[in-house]
Amino acid sequence: MTVSIAHLGPAGTNTEAAALAYAKGLAQTGISAQLYPCASIPQTLRITAQGQVDVAVVPVENSIEGSVGMTLDTLWRLDTLQIQQALVLPISHALLSQATCLTTIRTVYSHPQALAQCQGWIEKNLNSVQQIPSNSTTEALQYLNDDRTAAAIASTRAAELYHLPILAHPINDYPDNSTRFWVLAKQPSPGGLHTSLAFTLPANVPGALVKPLQVFFNRRINLSHIESRPAKRLLGEYLFFIDLEADASQTSIQWAIAELTPYIETLKIFGSYNILPIQ
């Protein structure tokens, strides 16, 4: 049996590394995998929801840059995908360039999140270079072959794949940099120690967020993350994405979810799953 996996491409991105780690896990159970690199996160999720591929691997949160709004917003809209597993991947950035020393570099290309994660290092070591954002860390590499004054921030794996020299590594400002990914599919989630859900609150009710949080607190269900996203109507209206340390099949969490009803407007449960660290 072969499982098709959609992810943000091209080859060499961190999302591809997460997809490969998931594929490796499948291989251990005798299932082979085929990767489908996509142009964007919404496209990755959409073709999975439409049944063109079996699963999607998407970034949810980075330990430095925070939540990936595009992933949460698309997931809320699509309404059909359930989380099968979470993956946590350590992220380290390298400076790739054909230049022989740092002083000859004039421009640095990379994905905006990668540039942001290396700001301190860039200001210290590449002062006054121009920083140019690209669609992915891999896309940034195309500028390196023709221009010896250009550098790109990408993974050491991308350096290998595209045969590019590493000038400095690691260059991320915070050593404990990691990204959490979700594996999503149309099938029900398998259950596990973590549950993710999102809700909107009724408009113009003061302190409306306290009530749902109290429901979980009173039942001793720990909240590991809360994220507000704009409801995309008026400034000041939000969706709340919540990660719970609990399995939605437990009676206590089922009761808690029932108790939420009077305090919230719309509730979407994205499933219960386990987190797998990747080495």
Give the angle subtended at the CA of 31 by the CAs of 29 and 36, to the nearest 5°: 135
Residue 73: phi, psi to the nearest 5? -65, -40
Q: How far apart are CA 158 and CA 155, in angstroms?
A: 5
Q: Which two tokens stand for residue 213?
A: 């949080």
Cis peptide before 190 (omega within 30 of 0): no
Residues lying near a copy of itself in the complex (CB under 8 A)? 42, 61-67, 69-70, 88, 112, 116, 119, 131-135, 174, 176, 178, 180, 206-207, 209-210, 213-214, 216-217, 220, 222-230, 232-236, 238
Nearest to a copy of itself of 163, 220 (CB atom): 220
Tell me how far, at minimum, the Cβ of 173 lies from a copy of itself, in Å: 8
Strand ranges in the chain using DSSP code E only, listed in sequence order:
2-8, 32-38, 55-62, 66-67, 82-90, 94-97, 107-110, 130-133, 150-154, 166-168, 178-185, 194-200, 223-230, 238-244, 267-273, 275-277
- Shortest distance, position 51 Cβ to a copy of itself, whole Å: 20
Distance of CA 63 to the CA centre of its chain: 10
Provide, rounded to whole angstroms, the least separation between the CB of residue 131 and a copy of itself.
Answer: 7
Q: Considering the complex, what minimum distance in angstroms separates the CB of residue 122 from a copy of itself?
A: 11
Nearer to a copy of itself, 30 or 207 (CB): 207
Q: Which is nearer to a copy of itself, 69 or 188 (CB)?
A: 69
Side chain identity at residue 232, one-letter code: K
Q: Which amino acid is at 253?
A: I
Nearer to a copy of itself, 120 or 188 (CB): 120
d(CA 118, CA 191): 37
The tokens for 207 are 């302190």
Between 147 and 173, CB nearer to a copy of itself: 173
- Comparison of 67 and 166: residue with beta carbon closer to a copy of itself: 67
Min CB(249)–a copy of itself separation in Å:
20
Min CB(61)–a copy of itself separation in Å: 7
Residue with Cβ nearer a copy of itself (162 or 238): 238
Shortest Å distance, C-beta 179 to a copy of itself: 8
Q: Which two tokens stand for residue 187?
A: 């099938």
7 touches 51 (CB < 8 A): no
